[in-house]
Structure 1
Amino acid sequence: MISSSPLVIGVGVAVALLALFVLARRLRAPSAEARESKRAHDAAQEREPPVEIGETYEFGVNELTDHHSGDEVAVGKVKGFVVFTEDVPSGLEPGDVIRAKVLSFNEGRTSADATFVGRA
């Protein structure tokens, strides 16, 4: 028979609370993907962009996504630096290689906006 003394009950409650605390911390902790994204973002802020405004670069499209403007943009990287390319033609798909002219940097200079020049 299990004892129902106040000490046993107190220990049981403490163990249950500790288990809930550990579970809550694990659920709130950032995922490995989120931690890697944060690390890459921090590293990007510490380096000079490998692209220049006004220059044209050739790179592969990693993904197509909706821009805050509502238009679809191609996302790619030049030497690990993210470039969002506007005015992409329909039918463009991830894996396609394009040329784009850099127009501006974001506020932290961790990515650039560009306009589509052509397919490579």
Structure 2
Amino acid sequence: MALKCVSELYSIDGKLYPCTTSITMDIIGGKWKTVILYHLRDGKKRYNELRKTLPVVTERTLSLQLKQLEEDGVVTRMVYTSKPPLKVEYELTEFGKSLIPLLDAIAQWGEMVADQRATVVKIADAL
């Protein structure tokens, strides 16, 4: 595959990218976005469900990352106010679902590295 990063720039919503990899990393890069997306790949999750699956992420960070993913069109946020308590659900959009093969490949590679290098630490011991 030939690289197209030599003499072209890509513009999305007024933001310039030097190559297609930088587009991908802008959307899913960072410490938690990919992890959040991985947990949404099987379907809708309430905000509190995501919090429980990511206990080391602060609420502020989770909220900011979800907001950025929503702005990038990767997840949708549904707020249900018809009856208390307020319910907020997040789900991958069709655009977001196109990331599932990539998310699975990243997770599989991480499992290989964990098998070779990691030791398991209980959550209570880590916090």
TM-score interval, normalised by the smaller of the two chains:
under 0.3
Q: Where is the strand percentage greater, Structure 1 or Structure 2?
A: 1
TM-score norm. by structure 2 comes to: 0.26
TM-score for the superposition, normalised by structure 1: 0.26
